[in-house]
Amino acid sequence: MFLDKLSILNYKNIAEAQLTFSPKLNCFIGHNGEGKTNLLDAVYYLSFCRSSCSVPDSQVMRHGSDFFMLDGRYISDSGEDELVTCGMKRGSKKHFKRNKKEYKKLSSHIGFIPLIFVSPSDTVLIDGVSEERRRLMDVVISQCDSAYLDALNRYNKALQQRNSMLRAEAEPDTELMELWEEQMAAAGEEVYRKRDDFVNKLVPIFQHFYNGISRDREQVSLRYVSHCQRGPLLDVIRRDRHKDRAVGYSLHGIHRDDLEMLIGDYPIRREGSQGQNKTFVVSLKLAQFEFLKSIRADVRPILLLDDIFDKLDANRVEQIVRIVGGDSFGQIFLTDTNREHLDRILSGSSLNYKLFYVENGEITLKEDRDV
């Protein structure tokens, strides 16, 4: 599946755009702050029903506007049209539709258009809190396993209820507390099993990409850490209920899971250079793409590459160019501040592509080699 046409109204700094894309490579050139990332974010929104920046929907509206609208026309591998539309008026809830039929639950849309977004902010996976790394796992697994998203939602609902009881001044009702704990444990262990299976499958793919980009200069790995590894989750949750009551929230559960990121035997956040960190997160995102492609044989994910060459030496740039220019990838959206890296990708290649210039929220087609 690929995005054939995109209509944008009042999305961030883009007042209006009517765009037709190449099914292979789409390049957006422009200075920083002109709107290249906002264009990619609009594409992301149509896959995940939200911005990649995790901001409220009201904040994606263009300043001074009372609504925004995104309208995407996709073409499936079988040649069928799929129309995905999202619109929202300020002060109202958003409406998300597929082929003019509105979704009752937005979660039903997740996974319909698989997508991987590689952006400069991905370094937060290394430097940020564990929530960022859990979100990484959740975003990928939920695109190929609707039962995972359901289990995660059930867990979060039970966690919220348990935390409310822990914060209450009155002593919690024991039977009700035990009920929420049982629901947390049942849903949490299901989430854990799926996360553990995902990480085990992802690691060798991730190492393959990293070794290719770095030319085997360093050894990297991922290690999944969870309270479920301490024994039955219900026992782990109940063991320190008195401590939870003292602090007013749940200290144990899969909401505290983490994904340790290692270079050699040490955390990359402490040992890695800027180039190694960038190589790590780019490799991780490319591995997610390959994982989704292997699970969803019927569709190749869309790949968004936002300013991925920054902070990388010439050798690593060359290897990334070689990888993304290959035949294994489907539709690609790529941004950069100049044409140098793009010309490397296209040099000696027969890739179909479209090149757009972006300036002050206006997107203009400059070159079209889409045959």
Average pLDDT over residues 18-33: 92
Average pLDDT, the chain: 91
C-alpha triplet 93, 96, 100: angle, nearest 5°: 130
Residue that wins the pLDDT comparison between 260 and 322: 260
Q: How many CB atoms lie within 10 A of CB 130?
A: 14
Domain 1-114+297-371, CATH:
3.40.50.300
Kindly report, residue by residue over 266-299, the tens digit of the pLDDT: 999 999 998 899 999 999 999 998 998 888 777 7
- pTM, to two decimals: 0.84
- What gap in Å lies between CA 51 and CA 57, rounded to an integer? 8
Short-list 361, 345, 262, CA closest to 26: 345
CA dihedral 209, 214, 218, 219 (to 10 degrees): 10
Kindly report, residue by residue over 172-229, the tens digit of the pLDDT: 999 999 999 999 999 999 999 999 999 999 999 999 999 999 988 899 999 999 999 9
Domain(s) labelled CATH 1.20.1050.90 in the chain stretch across 128-295
Task: Collapse the DSSP code of 354 into the 3-class scheme (helix H, G, I; strand E, B; otherwise coil) and give the result.
Answer: strand
Domain(s) labelled CATH 3.40.50.300 in the chain stretch across 1-114+297-371
Among the four given CATH numbers 3.40.640.10, 3.90.550.10, 1.10.10.10, 1.20.1050.90, the one describing domain 128-295: 1.20.1050.90
Share of the chain above pLDDT 90, in %: 67
pLDDT confidence bin for 348, thresholds 50/70/90: low
- Partners of 73 in the beta sheet? 5, 83
- What gap in Å lies between CA 218 and CA 198, rounded to an integer? 23
